[in-house]
Structure 1
Amino acid sequence: MTETARFLGVDRKTVRRYVDAGYLQAWAPDVGWRRISRDSIGRLCGIAPPPDGTPDSGE
């Protein structure tokens, strides 16, 4: 979530709220941090999904 927050220019708590509200799609692997869907980032920004190599998950 840290990289997603940095990419969007918001706080990590805001990203968490976006996920909870359904604005961003996220999933958590069996172990590790939540992953944020690149497609949902693109939809939130009103642009095409970010290309490979850009932040799409984190924390």
Structure 2
Amino acid sequence: MDDLHGSASERLRQLDDIVSGGEPSNEWLTRHLRQTLSELAEAEPVVDAEQDRREDY
């Protein structure tokens, strides 16, 4: 099974296509969930800082 790639919306579309073709394995789902949560964890400080910057005005 191919790995998801691209923007979040592209990956959602790819996931829909994969699920419509059958159930992906737990290993595959876990790998992609871990990857996505890791990306989110990296982005959170940037988003939080931007939100704080906007609230200061």
Whether these two folds match at TM > 0.5 is: no
* More relative contact order, 1 or 2 (CA 8 Å, 6+ apart): 1
Q: Which has the larger radius of gyration?
A: 2
TM-score calculated relative to the size of structure 2: 0.29
